[in-house]
Each structure stands twice: as C-alpha cells, then as structure tokens.
C-alpha cells in the first residue's frame, strides 16, 4: 500500500467516528514524532498492538479489498501484566470494500453496526478440515437466535449486532449505495498473529510504499520506548 492511501483512510475514519459521536482514545491522535518521547509506561499500547491498523490483505486493491480499524483495548492470554480477557475494536468499511472470509480458532466476538450504511456478513460453518460446511448456521443477533442456510448474507443496519463464535466463517461488505459503515467489535483477546484462519491465503500487515510522511503510526510501527519520556 502507499502511505498516502493509509493516511487518507485514517482521516476518513476519524471523520466517520466523529460524525457518529465516537470519541477516540488519546493515543489514536498522536503524531509520529510524539511517539519518540513515549517511555515504558506506554508499553501496553505497544505490546498489545493498540491503535491504528490499515490493511489491503496483501492484495494491492485497497479500494476493493481492505479494512481500516483501531484496536482500542486488548489483552494477551496468560500474560502477567496484560491479562485482560477481552478486546474492543472500531472498524470502517467503505462502500465497495470487502473484508475476506475467515474465522477465529479461539476468539468469540460481537460485531456491532455503530452507524453509517448497512453491512452484509456472509456466514458458513467450518468442517473439521476447515472448509465451508453445507449445514445450516445458527445466528445470534441482539438476543434473537435463528437458523439460516449456509452462505446466507446477514444484514446489519445501524444499531444491529451479531455474535460470531469460533469456527464460524464470515466476511464483510457494505450493501451497495448505503455508504461507509462504522463497526464496533467486542470480543475475547485479539491475536492477529495466531488466531486468524483466512479461507484463502492472505497477508495481514501491508508492505508500505512511503510516498508521503505518515499522518499516524500503525500499531506495528511504534518506536522503542525511551527512558525518561512522558
């Protein structure tokens, strides 16, 4: 991805969050130079990868396949200091974008439409060999439990939410013409390195072409802690 694409995506998500009244943590607003003064008191941000994340999944087609998101809080399983058993994210999916089919071996999550357009989430159970199962899917939406055929697109309008258990394949796209969607995610600990099973092999963090100065640092770009910073 080009850095200019990443900068533009972050600015768009800041505007969308503001439009829908979602205030971001202070660390989301730090300029890259501010990170140079941050000492070890901010290690939780670094080590649990809180903050901005923009990905094209290695496809090089961000306008078609990609996501912009913020990890707001997170834990690390069995870690002596970062032992929160939960995580929270805020995500933006633009009209025309797609987030590919995947499941999590460990994480259960709720996906909430916080505002904007309508998001469509296609669901499949996984077989023991991690293929798509041709079996009915039990859907949990805001206290309602119902069953849909494999491959159904579940529709989330603003305010709606869905529970995604482990081993449930799901993807995301915006219902055409409804506009960018601001999504919330409330889940168990998030571990992108070990708990994402994409149906097709994909990248996670993009290789960046530095065509302009970073507006914000991504969660995998923070500099080491300084001594005596603040």
**164, part of any domain:** yes
Domain range for 140 is 3-198
Q: What is the pLDDT of residue 179?
A: 96
**207, part of any domain:** no
Determine the Cα–Cα distance for residues 219 and 217; give it in Å rounded to an integer: 7
Tens digit of pLDDT for each residue in 74-121?
Answer: 999 889 999 999 999 999 999 999 999 999 999 999 999 999 999 999
Burial of 162 (0-12, 13-18, 19+ CB in 10 A): buried
Let me know the angle formed at the C-alpha of 5 by 97 and 204, rounded to the nearest 5 degrees.
65
- For every residue of 157-209, DSSP letters joined together read -TT-EEEE-TTEEEEEEEPTTS--EEEEEEEE---TTTS-EESS---SSPP-B
**226, part of any domain:** no
**152, part of any domain:** yes
**59, part of any domain:** yes
Q: What is the pLDDT of residue 156?
A: 98
Contact in structure between 161 and 109 (CB atoms under 8 Å) = no
Determine the Cα–Cα distance for residues 30 and 221; give it in Å rounded to an integer: 13
Confidence check: pLDDT of 230 > 50 = no
Return the structure tokens found at 47. 């080590």
Tens digit of pLDDT for each residue in 197-214?
Answer: 999 888 777 889 999 999
Span 160-189, mean pLDDT? 97
Return the structure tokens found at 113. 């439409």
**211, part of any domain:** no
**71, part of any domain:** yes
**44, part of any domain:** yes
Confidence check: pLDDT of 229 > 60 = no
The count of structural domains within the chain is 1
Q: What is the pLDDT of residue 62?
A: 94
CATH of the domain at 142: 2.60.120.10
Residue 228 pLDDT class (50, 70, 90 cuts)? low
Which sign, positive or negative, has the C-alpha torsion 143, 146, 151, 153? negative
């Amino acid at each position: 991805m080009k850095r200019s694409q990443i900068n533009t995506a972050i600015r768009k998500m800041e505007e969308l969050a503001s439009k829908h009244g979602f205030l971001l943590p202070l660390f989301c607003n730090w300029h890259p130079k501010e990170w140079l003064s941050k000492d070890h008191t901010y290690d939780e941000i670094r080590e649990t990868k809180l903050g901005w994340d923009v990905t094209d999944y290695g496809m090089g087609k961000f306008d078609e396949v990609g996501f912009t998101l913020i990890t707001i809080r997170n834990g690390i399983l069995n870690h002596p200091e970062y032992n929160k058993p939960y995580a929270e994210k805020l995500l933006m999916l633009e009209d025309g974008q797609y987030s590919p089919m995947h499941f999590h071996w460990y994480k259960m999550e709720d996906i909430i439409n916080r505002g904007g357009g309508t998001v469509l989430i296609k669901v499949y159970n996984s077989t023991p060999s991690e293929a798509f199962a041709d079996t009915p899917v039990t859907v949990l939406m805001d206290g309602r439990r119902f069953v849909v055929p494999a491959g159904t697109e579940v529709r989330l309008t603003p305010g709606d939410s869905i529970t995604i258990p482990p081993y449930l394949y799901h993807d995301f796209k915006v219902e055409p013409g409804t506009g960018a969607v601001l999504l919330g995610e409330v889940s168990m600990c998030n571990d992108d390195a070990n708990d994402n099973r994409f149906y097709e092999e994909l990248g996670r963090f993009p290789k960046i072409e530095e065509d302009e100065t970073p507006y914000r640092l991504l969660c995998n770009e923070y500099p080491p802690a300084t001594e005596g910073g603040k």
